[in-house]
Structure 1
Amino acid sequence: MSAPKAQTNEKLKKPLNLPLLIFYGVGTILGLGIYVLLGKVGGEAGMLAPFAFLVAAILAGFTGLSYGELSARIPKSAGEVNYVDEAFGKKHLSMAMGWLIVLSAMVSTATVVNGYVGYVHVFAVIPDWLIIISITLLLGAVGAKGISESAILITVITIIEISGLFLVIFIAGDNLASFSARWNEFIPGANRTDWEKILLGAFLAFFTFIGFQDMVNVAEETKNPEKHMPIAIMVSLVILTVLYMLVAVIAGLGLSPEELNQSEAPLADILAREGENYPKIISAIGLIAIVNGVLVQIVMSARVLYGMARKKMAPAIFGKIEPRTSTPIWSTVAATVFILILALSFDLKNLAIATNYILILVFILINLALIAIKKRVPHPKGVNTFPMAVPVLGAIFSFGILVFQAWSSISNL
Structure 2
Amino acid sequence: AVGILAAASIARGAAAYLGDLAPIPLPLGAAGLVILFTGIACLGVRQSVGIAAVMTFAELLGLAYVIIAGGHQVWQTGTVVPLSELADLTAAPAGIAAGAFIAFFAFLGFENMANMAEEAEDAYRALPLAIFLALAISTLLYIAVATVAVISVPLETLVSSPTPLRDVVASSPIGNAEIFGSVALIATANGVLIEILMVARVSYGMAHRGWLPAWFAAVWPRSRTPVRTTLVAGAIVLLLAVPFDVGELAAMTSNVLLSLFVIVNLALMRLQHVAPRDDLPIRAPRWLPPLGAAGAAALLAAQFLMG
Q: TM-score, normalised by structure 1?
A: 0.70
What residue number does 1:335 align with?
Answer: 233
Letter in 2 for 1:130: L
After superposition, the C-alpha distances for 1:124-179 in whole angstroms (9 at most, x for unaligned) are 10233332222111111111111111111111111111011111111221244399
What residue number does 1:387 align with?
Answer: 285
After superposition, the C-alpha distances for 1:295-351 in whole angstroms (9 at most, x for unaligned) are 000000001111211232222111122221122111101000110111112111111
Within 5 Å, which residues of 2 pair with 1:68-147? 103-147=1-45
Letter in 1 for 2:27: W
Contact 2:169/2:177 (8 A) holds in 1: yes
Change (3 A) 1:154 1:194: same
What residue number does 2:269 align with?
Answer: 371
Contact 1:175/1:253 (8 A) holds in 2: no
More moved, 272-281 vs 298-307? 272-281
Out of 94, 100, 105, which is 1:196 matched to? Answer: 94
What root-mean-square deviation, in Å, do the aligned CA atoms of Structure 1 and Structure 2 show? 2.3
Does residue 1:321 correspond to 2:215, yes or no?
no
What residue number does 1:356 align with?
Answer: 254
1:181 Cα deviation (Å)? 9.0
1:362 Cα deviation (Å)? 0.6
Number of residue pairs matched?
Answer: 305
Unpaired runs of 5+ residues, structure 2, are none
Contact 1:104/1:359 (8 A) holds in 2: yes
More moved, 383-392 vs 342-351? 383-392
Letter in 2 for 1:264: P
Partner SS for 2:306: helix
Contact 1:322/1:329 (8 A) holds in 2: yes
1:382 Cα deviation (Å)? 4.2
Letter in 2 for 1:263: S
Out of 132, 146, 151, which is 1:248 matched to? Answer: 146
Partner SS for 2:232: helix
Contact 1:321/1:328 (8 A) holds in 2: yes
Q: Distance in 1 between matches of 2:76 and 2:250?
A: 32
Q: TM-score, normalised by structure 2?
A: 0.93
Contact 2:74/2:152 (8 A) holds in 1: no
Partner SS for 1:145: coil
Q: Distance in 2 between matches of 1:269 and 1:181?
A: 16
Give the % identical residues: 32
Change (3 A) 1:399 1:265: same
Does residue 1:226 correspond to 2:119, yes or no?
no
After superposition, the C-alpha distances for 1:256-298 in whole angstroms (9 at most, x for unaligned) are 2211111111111111122497111111111111221000000
After superposition, the C-alpha distances for 1:207-262 in whole angstroms (9 at most, x for unaligned) are 00111121211112222211111111110111011111111111111212211111
What residue number does 1:153 align with?
Answer: 51
Partner SS for 1:312: coil
What residue number does 1:312 align with?
Answer: 210
Unpaired runs of 5+ residues, structure 1, are 1-102
